[in-house]
């Protein structure tokens, strides 16, 4: 929960928000249940978004990381009001809550407000969280049959944790490979050949693991060619590295996004809250920029070899005909042959 208001209303706004967090009435649960079910249906009708969930499931199969944060209509329909209240009572407690603020505000008044208005949340001690073991990642190729106009394809594998010192190198690698309009994948797949409207690389960093991936959506007769280009560009970075121009451009882009994101109080507040909740390192802006600048071409090539090694990659696709995806897997050639299954 968050709010933006004039600094003179800090105390009143904090009190209202704290009351909503500590003493929710859970009105209209059935109505909200229907809203979530509709959200799930909308998401399932968006294969370009759904495909990344399928890749996560393939990489972290059987582990909680592989499950959708939205849940399923069956689970949402079965949750009872008592279960919701029980979850709230055991998790929304003072030891678990984080308060983050940014703007024209001092820390001491916020701490005092938290102690005064959130103390009721410490009445029920939160249970000791039992963390699941680290995921045992596996490689697979899964095809999901759906009557779509495009084929939506993802390749990817395990990545880095949010605590890894290589995360700054990953941001540069992502920018060069497919994270921007000047990236290799965007230029080679979209601008030069017009094979896809949407093509990009992405990553997700979790507490002790992560993932990296590449996505593109195109017509069936372009899937194999687009796959070959993606593989060729990954191979090229792994073998030959990146140019000085690519490295410089990616660094400037990363620094620019970072500095611009810090221009709003909302982003500053969110950053502090997320880093605190995830027990991550909170670095000054100047140090982050210094770490980005310290990344060199050898770092990028080394990380590409580590994360995009063929034996680590899984592949998933959504489309009307699995044979098209099979041909794309064959187009991987020397990289790797994955046996496709219908999921």
Q: Which helix (H) or strand (E) holds 155?
A: strand 151-158
Q: Based on the structure, what is the number of domains in the chain?
A: 2
Residue 28, SS3 per DSSP: coil
How high is the pLDDT of residue 333?
55
Q: What is the pLDDT of residue 208?
A: 87
Could you tell me whether strands 340-342 and 314-319 are parallel, antiparallel, or unpaired per DSSP bridges? unpaired
Edge-first strand order for the sheet with 340-342 is 198-205, 210-218, 151-158, 314-319, 141-145, 340-342
With 0.95 as the threshold, say if the pTM is over it. no
| Domain identity same for 115 and 165 | no
Phi-psi region of 97 (alpha: psi -120 to 50; beta: other; left: phi over 0): beta
Q: Which helix (H) or strand (E) holds 195?
A: none
According to the model, what pLDDT value does residue 332 have? 65
Q: pLDDT-derived band of residue 134, with 50, 70 and 90 as boundaries?
A: low
What pLDDT score was predicted for residue 253? 96
Can you give the residue range of the structural domain that contains 302?
141-342
Residue 298 and residue 253 share a domain:
yes
Q: What is residue 210's three-state secondary structure?
A: strand
Same structural domain for residues 106 and 224?
no
Listed residues 74, 91, 122: the one ending a domain:
122
Q: What DSSP state is assigned to residue 25?
A: -
Q: Is residue 264 part of a domain?
A: yes
* Contact residues for 280 (Cβ-Cβ < 8 A; gap 6+): 162, 163, 274
The CATH number of the domain where 332 resides is what? 3.30.830.10
Q: Could you give the CA distance from residue 166 to residue 59 in angstroms, rounded to a whole number?
A: 21
User: Which helix H or strand E contains 141, and what residues bound it?
Assistant: strand 141-145
Lowest mean pLDDT among 30-39, 113-122, 303-312: 113-122
- Average pLDDT of the chain? 91
């Amino acid at each position: 929960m968050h709010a933006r208001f004039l600094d003179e209303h800090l105390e009143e706004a904090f009190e209202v928000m704290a009351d909503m967090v500590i003493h929710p009435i859970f009105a209209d649960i059935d109505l909200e249940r229907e809203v979530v079910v509709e959200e799930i249906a909308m998401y399932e009708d968006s294969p370009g978004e759904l495909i990344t969930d399928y890749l996560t499931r393939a990489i972290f199969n059987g582990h909680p990381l592989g499950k959708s944060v939205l849940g399923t209509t069956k689970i949402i329909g079965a949750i009872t009001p008592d279960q919701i209240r029980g979850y709230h009572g055991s998790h929304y407690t003072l030891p678990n809550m984080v308060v983050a603020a940014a703007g024209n505000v001092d820390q001491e008044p916020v701490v005092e407000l938290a102690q005064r208005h959130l103390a009721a949340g410490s009445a029920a001690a939160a249970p000791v969280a039992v963390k699941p073991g680290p995921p045992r990642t596996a490689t697979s190729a899964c095809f999901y049959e759906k009557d779509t106009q495009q084929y939506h394809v993802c390749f990817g594998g395990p990545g880095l944790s949010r605590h890894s010192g290589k995360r700054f190198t990953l941001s540069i690698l992502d920018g060069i490979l497919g994270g921007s309009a000047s990236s290799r994948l965007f230029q080679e797949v979209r601008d030069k050949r017009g094979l896809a409207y949407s093509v990009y690389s992405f990553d997700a960093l979790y507490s002790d693991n992560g993932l990296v991936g590449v996505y593109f959506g195109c017509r069936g007769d372009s899937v194999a060619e687009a796959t070959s280009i993606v593989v060729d560009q990954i191979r090229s970075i792994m073998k030959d590295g990146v140019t000085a121009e690519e490295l410089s451009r990616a660094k400037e882009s990363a620094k620019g996004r970072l500095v611009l994101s810090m221009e709003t109080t909302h982003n500053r507040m969110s950053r502090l809250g997320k880093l605190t909740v995830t027990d991550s390192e909170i670095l000054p802006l100047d140090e982050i920029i210094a770490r980005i600048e310290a990344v060199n071409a050898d770092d990028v090539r080394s990380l590409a070899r580590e994360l995009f090694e063929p034996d680590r990659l899984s592949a998933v696709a959504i489309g009307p005909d699995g044979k098209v995806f099979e041909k794309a897997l064959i187009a991987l050639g020397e990289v790797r042959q994955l046996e496709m299954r219908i999921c």
